[in-house]
């Protein structure tokens, strides 16, 4: 094992609205219950872009963002019992208490005493090393690369939760995925197919639609920019609508189209975030309670994943049931350029930084 240096390169945010700057900084402290991870890869996605643009999210500066981390444990705190040096791990994004009734009943994303998120309330994976709570890390199975594991911890695990727990997809169900070409969407259509559903995948622009077709997991590919989305869904489902809609865009327009696309008893799963602070449009959407009641509809919030769901997802990736779709990897210093591409909506699939 190579010795651990005293300083590392990291992308540091010094204030709200400031650019991320590559700096030499001291290695993070390792608390009693923390593990120190040499970062092999870290995903870069819309969550970080939104974090940087939203006042009040980061509690203290300077801060190192990045939360879809994978790497190798190089040191552990004196209280760590379950993770050994040399273990490859990925991580859970939320810092939860582990002791409240929600944490104790497998609903830790609804923790009643949360302590924030990795890369937001403690330093994250836009750095050569990161310190993480023992409770937050999950061992990576052999055969899964660091970048695939990093992507699995969020962009594939999130679809697992959304499809299995919230949309409750079963063989024969139909599902519409809105925003299907993005980092979460491209794995959502694979997961929905794995659940046995007929998958309608919607996005905008010829390039994104071609990308969805290249993955081969969607039964129907819909261009949401050409005419009414709900009308297109009805045309593809014999006028019945779909059993579930998973809306990863979650803008006012897509949410209204989602509700209008549901079959009797249909489930709308809201998973995206389209805040007015960034996009300048209030994402609130009207719900007609009479139609809602008569059609027996459901609206679900899909809020990240449990630790156990990350474990399951890593097994699905290991077994080749779902493939991590990584379209671009860059060195750490180029992460700000990826943020700019994501802001412009120019990326497809997942992107990330990987160590040399
Ligand atoms: Zn809790």
Q: Are residues 285 and 187 in the same domain?
A: yes
Predicted pLDDT at 3: 85
Ligand 1 centroid–CA 99 distance in Å is 5
Determine the distance separating the centroid of ligand 1 and the alpha carbon of 95, expressed in angstroms. Answer: 9
Query: Is residue 269 predicted with pLDDT exceeding 70?
Result: yes
Q: Point out the least confidently predicted range of 18-32, 36-50, 231-245, 267-281.
A: 267-281
The verdict on 22 and 101 lying in the same domain is: yes
Does residue 307 fall inside a structural domain?
Answer: no
What torsion, rounded to 10 degrees, do the Cα atoms 346, 350, 355, 356 define? Answer: -70
| pLDDT over 80 at 343, yes or no | yes
CA 169 to ligand 1 center in whole angstroms = 28
Establish if 225 belongs to a structural domain: yes
CA–centroid distance, 205 to ligand 1, in Å, is 42
The arithmetic mean of pLDDT across residues 310-330, rounded, is: 97
Query: What is the mean predicted confidence (pLDDT) over 14-22?
Result: 95
What pLDDT is stored for residue 2 in this prediction?
63
Residue 306 lies in a domain: no
Give residue 106 CA to ligand 1 midpoint distance, Å: 10
Measured in Å, residue 100 CA sits from the centre of ligand 1 at 4
Interval 173-197 mean pLDDT: 97
Cα of 117 vs centre of ligand 1, distance in Å, is 13
Q: Are 200 and 176 in contact (CB under 8 A)?
A: yes
Q: How far is the centre of ligand 1, averaged over its atoms, from the C-alpha of 104 (Å)?
A: 7
Instruction: Quote the ligand 1 centre to 306 CA distance (angstroms).
Output: 12
Higher pLDDT, 345 or 39: 39
250 is a domain residue:
yes
The tokens of 284 are what?
A: 């609130």
* 123: in domain: yes
Q: Residues 104-156: pLDDT tens digits?
A: 998 999 999 999 999 999 999 999 999 999 999 999 999 999 999 999 999 99
Ligand 1 center from residue 355 Cα (angstroms) = 33
Q: Evaluate whether residue 292 is within a structural domain.
A: yes
For residues 290 and 169, membership in a common domain is answered with yes
Ligand 1 center–CA 133 separation, angstroms: 14
Residue 155 CA to ligand 1 center (angstroms) comes to 23
Dist. CA 303 → ligand 1 center (Å): 14
> Structural domain of residue 183, as residue ranges?
163-301
One domain for residues 106 and 213: no
Mean pLDDT of 327-347: 93
Both 113 and 168 in one domain: the answer is no
> Residue 1: pLDDT above 70?
no
Phi, psi of 211 (to 5 degrees): -65, -45
Is 106 domain-assigned?
yes
On whether both 179 and 92 belong to a single domain, the answer is no
One domain for residues 188 and 267: yes
Residues 170 and 297 in one domain: yes
Distance 96 CA to ligand 1 centre (A): 5
Q: Same structural domain for residues 167 and 255? A: yes
User: Are 108 and 198 contained in the same domain?
Assistant: no
Residue 78 is part of a domain; what is its CATH number?
3.90.180.10
Total number of domains constituting the chain: 2
Q: Do 265 and 329 lie in a common domain? A: no
Q: How far is the CA of 232 from the centre of ligand 1 (A)?
A: 43
Long-range contacts, stretch 93-102, CB < 8 angstroms, 24+ apart: 93/47, 93/67, 93/68, 93/117, 93/118, 93/119, 93/153, 93/154, 93/304, 94/118, 94/304, 95/121, 95/122, 95/133, 95/136, 96/135, 98/135
Residue 315 CA, ligand 1 centroid: distance in Å: 26
pLDDT value at 227 more than 90: no
Do 176 and 292 belong to one domain?
yes
The answer to whether 62 and 12 have CB atoms below 8 angstroms apart is yes
Of 301, 316, 334, the residue that ends a domain is 301
CATH number at residue 250: 3.40.50.720
- For ligand 1, the distance from its centroid to the CA atom of residue 161, given in whole angstroms, is 19
Ligand 1 centre to CA of 82 (Å) is 20
The answer to whether position 98 is within a domain reads yes
């Amino acid at each position: 094992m190579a010795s651990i240096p005293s300083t590392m390169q990291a992308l540091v945010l010094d204030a709200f609205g400031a650019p991320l700057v590559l700096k030499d900084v001291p290695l993070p402290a390792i608390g009693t219950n923390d593990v120190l991870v040499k970062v092999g890869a870290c995903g870069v996605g819309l969550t970080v872009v939104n974090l940087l643009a939203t006042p009040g999210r980061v509690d203290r500066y300077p801060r190192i963002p990045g939360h879809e981390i994978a790497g190798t444990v190089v040191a552990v705190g004196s209280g760590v019992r379950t993770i050994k040096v040399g273990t490859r791990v990925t991580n859970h994004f939320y810092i939860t208490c582990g002791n409240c009734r929600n944490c104790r009943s497998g609903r830790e994303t609804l923790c009643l005493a949360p302590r924030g998120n990795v890369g937001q309330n403690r330093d994250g994976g836009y750095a050569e090393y990161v310190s993480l709570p023992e409770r937050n890390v999950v061992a990576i199975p052999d055969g899964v690369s660091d970048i695939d594991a990093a992507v699995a911890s969020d962009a594939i695990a999130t679809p697992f939760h959304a499809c299995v727990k919230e949309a409750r997809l079963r063989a024969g169900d139909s599902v519409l995925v809105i925003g299907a070409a993005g980092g979460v969407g491209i794995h959502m259509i694979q997961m929905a197919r794995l659940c046995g559903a007929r998958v309608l995948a919607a996005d905008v622009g010829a390039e994104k639609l071609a990308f969805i077709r290249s993955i081969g997991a969607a039964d129907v590919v819909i261009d949401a920019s050409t005419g009414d989305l709900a009308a297109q869904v009805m045309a593809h489902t014999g006028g019945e609508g779909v059993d579930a809609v998973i809306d990863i865009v979650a803008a006012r327009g897509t949410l209204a189209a989602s509700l209008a696309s549901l079959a009797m008893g249909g489930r709308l799963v809201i998973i995206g975030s389209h805040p007015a602070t960034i996009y300048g449009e209030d994402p609130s959407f009207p719900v007609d309670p009479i139609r809602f009641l008569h059609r027996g509809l459901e609206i679900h919030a899909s809020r990240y994943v449990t630790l156990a769901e990350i474990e399951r997802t890593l097994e699905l990736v290991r077994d080749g049931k779902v493939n991590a779709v990584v379209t671009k990897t860059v060195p750490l210093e180029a992460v700000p350029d990826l943020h700019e591409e994501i802001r412009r909506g120019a990326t497809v699939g997942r992107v990330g930084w990987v160590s040399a």
